[in-house]
Structure 1
Amino acid sequence: MTSDEPRWLTGAEQRTWQAYRRMHLLLAAQISRDLAQDSGLSDADYDVLSHLSFAEGNRCQIGELADRMLWSRSRLSHHLKRMQQRGLVVREGRTDDARCAEVVLTEEGLSTLKAAAPLHVDSARRHFIDLLTPEQQTAFAEIGEVVVRHLSDGAEPRPPKRSNA
């Protein structure tokens, strides 16, 4: 094989890739449906509310929130406008830097998140976590961490730890 030929996936690799792709699509769609049905929130709504609930004072600079969510500032700004109209968040100017607006979780937003979270966790359990053994959960977490580390810092993933058994 010459260096300009693609490294086609083996049968086992193709099975792995297709299983991940199909699982990702089906699981994301099901969790999104459950979230919308149970709480009236979109995935994006839940992500914003969740991020803000963990931020100090339930507030965050808009640019920082966009970075955390891997969204453009424009996309986040449009989404925040819709959430603000529903009373879930407010935007405030910072007193120490007028150029840096912050988004703040409202009481309505916090109570909406508190009502949605148990149902969201139940959905994640039903459709994913409880289907896996503890060993599968550990393996899945390790796999995800390798890929995230690779995509986050561009570093080559570390080889898996080999057991001596």
Structure 2
Amino acid sequence: MNGTGAHGDQEEPRWLDEQEKAAWTGLISLVLLLPGKLEPPLRQEHGLTLFEYLVLSHLSEAPRRTLRMGELAFLASGSLSRLSNVVKRCEQRGWVRRMPDPADGRYTLAELTDDGFDVVHQAAPTHLRSLRRTVLDALNTTDQKALARIAEKLRIVPDGLG
């Protein structure tokens, strides 16, 4: 093929070698399978999705338990629209409050309420047990450092943030 046609001047794909294929299939398996391992205990014991837990957890660790929505979306690895829907549900449950950022009214802040802090505090041990069992206990310190380094290199900015 000459690389022209419906898609313009695109170069030929560089097919995966064995090492690249092993890296890719390992990564995509983790990406697709981990939420299915980490979410059920949170749902069963606390009625939380994994994404809800991540949102509440990041807020609980923030100064004054408050973050701009855009920063929270980035930390929780979700789009602004997905985060907005989750924060709305959390607001209805009394776990989060939204307000304009007094420093710059163009931004919205999400603040974890005391009730929301109680929820994440109760759910944290459940999440930690499944996280250790599913991921961390299988890795030594060198593996954990390598995983953190790789994750940082592959960090993707969610839609609407970059």
TM-score, normalised to structure 2's length?
0.76
Amino acid at match of 1:81: K
Identity of aligned residues (%): 38
Letter aligned with residue 147 of structure 1:
L
Distance 1:112 1:20, change over 3 A: same
Unaligned runs of 5+ in 1: 153-165
Please name the residue that 1:61 is paired with: 68
Cα distance, 1:90 vs structure 2: 1.8
Taking the aligned partners of 2:62 and 2:104, their CA distance within structure 1 comes to 19
The Cα of 1:27 is off from its aligned counterpart by 1.6
**Two-structure CA RMSD over aligned residues (Å):** 2.5
Figure out how many residues of one structure are paired with residues of the other and give that number. 149
Structure 2, unmatched stretches of 5+, are: 3-9, 158-162
Counterpart position of 2:5: none
User: Which residue of 46, 50, 67 maps to 1:43?
Assistant: 50
In structure 1, the partner of 2:28 is 21
Decide which of 120, 124, 131 is 1:124's aligned counterpart: 131
Give the drift of 1:97: 5.3
2:92 and 2:60 map into 1 onto residues whose CA distance is 19
User: In structure 2, the residue corresponding to 1:124 is in which secondary structure?
Assistant: helix
Deviation at 1:29, TM superposition (A): 1.2
Query: Which structure 2 residues correspond to residues 126-165 of structure 1 after superposition, within 5 A?
Result: 126-148=133-155, 151=156
- 3-state SS, counterpart of residue 109 of structure 2: strand
Q: CA distance change for structure 1 residues 81 and 147 in 2, over 3 Å: closer, same or farther?
A: closer
Query: Matched residues in 2 for 1:29 and 1:131: separation?
Result: 18
| TM-score, normalised with respect to structure 1 | 0.75
Report which structure shows greater RCO (CA 8 Å, sep ≥6). Answer: 2
Q: Which residue of 2 aligns with 1:90?
A: 97
State which of 16, 37, 43 in structure 2 corresponds to 1:9: 16
CA pair 147-74 structure 1, distance change in 2 beyond 3 A = closer
Pairwise CA distance, 1:132: 2.0
- Deviation at 1:36? 1.3
